[in-house]
Structure 1
Amino acid sequence: MRVLFILFALLPILEIALLINVGSVIGGWNTVGLVILSAFIGAYFVKREGVSTLQTAQEKMQRNEVPGKELVEGLMLVVAGILLVTPGFITDIFGFLLAMPGSRHFFAAQVSKHMKMRVVAPGMGPGTAGFGQGQTPFGQSPFGDRSNSSNSDGDVFEGEYTDHTTNDPDKRLK
């Protein structure tokens, strides 16, 4: 919590101080132009990388693979886009770091590794993080623990089934 407070309290002050210093060296209008130019270049770059990441995620989903890395990278691209359109040079530096493929892959790997260490499948042993039956990340599930419930009370479960073993569409079960 302190880190966020320091980030939101100090970052604007540092950005303003840097903008004033750069403005005194290259001129006020040149500084404004540089900030606007970096926002346009950053938005274009984030859009191009976002489309590429989306295509990779779609290809993985077509191969029945989970696009976990691509989801993390997509989130990083959203953050990069926000940072790049925010006026200032410090946010632009961090935004470009998250938008560039090499550094984004590195940060995505670090975030994925951190997430895997924090969220472990339930039943992996004592002391592991995870959510058991009837639990959510926010505590007890409002639906309760249904692990021991049986279907003896006549509940109806609906679903769809398609038989793909035959090539004749008229003979497929629906």
Structure 2
Amino acid sequence: MRFLFILFAVLPILEIALLVNVGNIIGGWNTIGLVILTAFIGAYFVKREGISTLQTAQAKMQRNEVPGKELVEGLMLVVAGVLLVTPGFVTDIIGFMFALPGSRHLLAAQVSKHMKMRVVVPGMGAGFGPGAGFNQTNQHNPFGQNPFNASQSQNDNGDVFEGEFTDDTTNDPDKRLK
């Protein structure tokens, strides 16, 4: 909630104050020209890096790899594009951080690391709400287990359940599943 307050209340006030101060120093038309120039330069960077990220993601998909990092970087480039066309110097600085490859790779690695800790695996929880799915508190690793050929499964408490299945819908004993 604080983040939204900062985003919608404090950031515009900071941007206006900074634009007025820069306008007093270099002039109003020069400030407007600088804002337009950063928007064009930012659009060029976002386009160039977006094409590069898309090509990398397509290459990974052709190798049957998940382009997770590229998806995060693509999202960051979308945010960078919005920030760079928004008038203001603070949004331009943040937008350039998201658009330039060096800082974007570092930020994407941090975001990916943070997102891996919050992965929700369908069917691995008690339902919806907090604590459902895979999180840091689970004691088992659902990754690497195949639910279709596993003879054991665990619930969220770590209890192990074993069982067998027999199809009793047919009367022919030779056709029953074991």
| Cα offset, 1:119, TM superposition | 1.2
Q: Secondary structure at the match of 2:117?
A: helix
| Cα offset, 1:6, TM superposition | 2.2
Equivalences for residues 17-166 of structure 1 within 5 A: 17-121=17-121, 129-130=133-134
- Identity rate of aligned residues, in percent? 81
Identify unmatched segments of 5+ residues in structure 1: 132-149, 153-174
| Cα offset, 1:86, TM superposition | 0.2
Equivalences for residues 9-24 of structure 1 within 5 A: 9-24=9-24
Q: Secondary structure at the match of 2:44?
A: helix
Larger mean Cα displacement after TM superposition, 61-70 or 2-11:
2-11
Q: Secondary structure at the match of 2:65?
A: coil
Q: Write the deviation string for residues 24-82 of structure 1: whole angstroms up to 9, x where unpaired.
A: 00000000000000000000110000000000000001111110100000000000000
In structure 1, distance between residues paired with 2:86 and 2:110: 25
Runs of 4+ in 1 over 6 A off after TM superposition: 123-126
| Cα offset, 1:22, TM superposition | 0.2
In structure 2, distance between residues paired with 1:37 and 1:51: 22
In structure 2, distance between residues paired with 1:113 and 1:22: 38
Q: Secondary structure at the match of 1:118?
A: coil
Aligned twin of 1:6: 6
The RMSD of aligned alpha carbons is 2.5
In structure 1, distance between residues paired with 2:106 and 2:125: 30
Identify unmatched segments of 5+ residues in structure 2: 136-166, 170-178
Structure 2 length-normalised TM: 0.69
In structure 2, distance between residues paired with 1:106 and 1:82: 20
Q: Secondary structure at the match of 2:109?
A: helix
Q: Secondary structure at the match of 2:84?
A: helix
Q: Write the deviation string for residues 118-149 of structure 1: whole angstroms up to 9, x where unpaired.
A: 11535779967439xxxxxxxxxxxxxxxxxx
State how many pairs are aligned: 134
Aligned twin of 2:156: none
Q: What letter corresponds to residue 29 of structure 1 in structure 2?
A: W
| Cα offset, 1:3, TM superposition | 1.6
In structure 1, distance between residues paired with 2:125 and 2:38: 50
Q: Bigger radius of gyration, 1 or 2?
A: 2
